[in-house]
Structure 1
Amino acid sequence: MNSLRSVVRGRVLLPGDPGFDAARRPWNLAVEQPAAAVVEAADADDVAALVRYARAAGLGIATQPNGHGATGRTDGTILLRTGRLDSLRVDPAARRARVGAGVASGRLQAAAAPHGLTGLPGSSPVVSVAGVALGGGLSWFGRAHGWVADSVTAFDIVDAEGRPRRLTAESGPDLFWALRGGGGDFAIVTALELALHPAPHLYGGRILWDAGHAPAVMDAYRQITATAPGALTVWLDLLHFPGSAPMVAVDATYLGGESEARDLLAPLDRLPRPLSDSRRVMSVAELGSIIAEPTDPGAGASRGELLTELDDTAVKTLLADPIAPLLSVQIRHLGGALAGPSDSPHGPLAEPYALYLFGFPGDDVTARQRGLAESLPVTGRKPYTFLNPGETAADAFTPAALARLRAVKRHHDPDGVFRANFPVSR
Structure 2
Amino acid sequence: MTALKSVVRGRVLLPGDPGFDAARRPWNLAVEQPVAAVVEAADAEDVAALVRHARSAGLGIATQPNGHGATGRTEGTILLRTGRLDTVEIDPAARRARVGAGVASGRLQAAAAPYGLTGLPGSSPVVSVTGVALGGGLSWFGRAHGWVADSVTALDVVDAEGRQRYVTAETDPDLFWALRGGGGDFAIVTALEFALHPAPHLYGGRVLWTAEHAPEVLDAYRRITATAPDELTVWLDLLHFPGSAPMVAVDATYLGEEDRARDLLRPLDRLPEPLSDSRRIMPVSELGTITAEPTDPGAGLSRGELLTDLDDVAAKTLLADPIAPLLSAQIRHLGGAFTRPSDSPHGPLTESYALYLFGLPTDPATARAVTARQRAFAENLPVSGRKPLTFLNPGETAADAFAPDALARLRDVKGRHDPYDVFRSNVPVRL
Structure 2's unaligned 5+ residue stretches are 362-366
Tell me whether 1:386 sits opposite 2:391 in the alignment.
yes
2:425 is aligned, of 410, 420, 423, to 420
What does residue 405 of structure 2 align with?
400
What displacement does 1:333 show? 0.0
Hey, what's the Cα distance between the residues in 1 that align with 2:429 and 2:347?
16
What does residue 368 of structure 2 align with?
363
Hey, what's the Cα distance between the residues in 1 that align with 2:117 and 2:155?
21
What does residue 197 of structure 2 align with?
197
Deviations 1:94-124 (A, max 9, x none): 0000000000000000000000000000000
Deviations 1:246-289 (A, max 9, x none): 00000000000000000000000000010000000000000000
Q: Which secondary structure does the structure 2 equivalent of 1:272 belong to? A: coil
Q: Which secondary structure does the structure 1 equivalent of 2:321 belong to? A: coil
Hey, what's the Cα distance between the residues in 1 that align with 2:395 and 2:35?
19
- Partner amino acid, structure 1, of 2:109: Q
Hey, what's the Cα distance between the residues in 1 that align with 2:244 and 2:372?
23
Q: Which secondary structure does the structure 2 equivalent of 1:80 belong to? A: strand
TM-score by length of 1: 1.00
What does residue 180 of structure 2 align with?
180
What does residue 279 of structure 1 align with?
279
Hey, what's the Cα distance between the residues in 2 that align with 1:209 and 1:341?
38
- Partner amino acid, structure 1, of 2:393: N
* Equivalent residue runs for 1:220-299 within 5 Å: 220-299=220-299
What displacement does 1:319 show? 0.4
What does residue 124 of structure 1 align with?
124
Hey, what's the Cα distance between the residues in 2 that align with 1:167 and 1:76?
29
What does residue 208 of structure 1 align with?
208
Hey, what's the Cα distance between the residues in 1 that align with 2:27 and 2:3?
28
Hey, what's the Cα distance between the residues in 1 that align with 2:47 and 2:219?
51
Q: Which secondary structure does the structure 2 equivalent of 1:291 belong to? A: coil
What does residue 27 of structure 1 align with?
27
What does residue 374 of structure 1 align with?
379
- Partner amino acid, structure 2, of 1:342: S
- Partner amino acid, structure 2, of 1:54: A
Q: Which secondary structure does the structure 1 equivalent of 2:3 belong to? A: helix
Q: Which secondary structure does the structure 2 equivalent of 1:194 belong to? A: strand
What displacement does 1:191 show? 0.1
- Partner amino acid, structure 2, of 1:106: G
What does residue 347 of structure 2 align with?
347
Deviations 1:292-320 (A, max 9, x none): 00000000000000000001111111101
Hey, what's the Cα distance between the residues in 1 that align with 2:206 and 2:3?
52
What does residue 335 of structure 1 align with?
335
Tell me whether 1:157 sits opposite 2:157 in the alignment.
yes
Q: Which secondary structure does the structure 1 equivalent of 2:326 belong to? A: coil
Hey, what's the Cα distance between the residues in 1 that align with 2:397 and 2:370?
20
What displacement does 1:214 show? 0.3
Identity of aligned residues (%): 84
Deviations 1:381-414 (A, max 9, x none): 0000000000001100000000000000000000
- Partner amino acid, structure 2, of 1:396: A
* Equivalent residue runs for 1:14-163 within 5 Å: 14-163=14-163
Hey, what's the Cα distance between the residues in 2 that align with 1:129 and 1:76?
27
Deviations 1:302-355 (A, max 9, x none): 000000000111111110111000000000000000111100000000000000
- Partner amino acid, structure 2, of 1:348: P
Hey, what's the Cα distance between the residues in 2 that align with 1:179 and 1:229?
30
- Partner amino acid, structure 1, of 2:295: T
What displacement does 1:380 show? 1.1
Hey, what's the Cα distance between the residues in 1 that align with 2:88 and 2:165?
19
What displacement does 1:415 show? 0.5
Hey, what's the Cα distance between the residues in 2 that align with 1:404 and 1:248?
42
- Partner amino acid, structure 2, of 1:404: R
Hey, what's the Cα distance between the residues in 1 that align with 2:167 and 2:52?
19
What does residue 364 of structure 2 align with?
none
- Partner amino acid, structure 2, of 1:177: W
Q: Which secondary structure does the structure 1 equivalent of 2:243 belong to? A: coil
The count of corresponding residues between Structure 1 and Structure 2 is 426
TM-score by length of 2: 0.99
- Partner amino acid, structure 1, of 2:355: L
- Partner amino acid, structure 2, of 1:421: N
Structure 1's unaligned 5+ residue stretches are none
Hey, what's the Cα distance between the residues in 2 that align with 1:44 and 1:378?
41
What displacement does 1:224 show? 0.3
What does residue 217 of structure 2 align with?
217
Hey, what's the Cα distance between the residues in 1 that align with 2:17 and 2:318?
48
Q: Which secondary structure does the structure 2 equivalent of 1:123 belong to? A: coil
